[in-house]
Amino acid sequence: MKNFKLFRFLKYASVGAAGTAFQYMILILLVSTGSTGPVTASSVGAIVGAITNYILNYHFTFRSNVNHSHSAPRFLFVAIIGFCVNWASMIAMVHVFDLQYILAQIASTGLVLMLTYSANAKWSFNPKQ
């Protein structure tokens, strides 16, 4: 059972890497072109990443058969919490601790990964819930 959970977490992290890649591309593009600041750019990227992650997690990570009307709102709720955690940690690290925005995003990503995996595995895609 531990190997299954580890394998599923690794799949979740891999799927998250795809969503995160979109988030980072949008973050860097928007900041480097001067379109917006790092916090807003990170937030826009997080939304695109969340959509990517839902689709891939539903079909690949959890191989869910839970109806989308059940899992999607829960995933969205978890994503919103993750979005808020990302936003708050980016604010703190960039504006309070003056950390370089890419390093701040890496730390924020790790924090959000742990939070959202736990919530999605236990709640969003769990058919027993």
Averaged over 45-57, what is the pLDDT? Answer: 89
31: in domain: yes
60: in domain: yes
Task: Show the domain range for 75.
Answer: 2-124
Q: Tell me the pTM.
A: 0.75
Report the distance separating Cα 50 and Cα 117, nearest Å. 12
129: in domain: no
Q: How many domains does the chain have?
A: 1
Task: Please report the pLDDT score of residue 129 as a whole number.
Answer: 63
Summarised one tens digit per residue, pLDDT across range 79-91 is: 899 989 999 999 9
Tokens of 78: 């978890």
37: in domain: yes
Give Cβ neighbours of residue 48 (< 8 Å, ≥ 6 apart). Answer: 19, 22, 23, 26
CB 91 within 8 A of CB 104: no
Q: What is the mean pLDDT of the chain?
A: 92
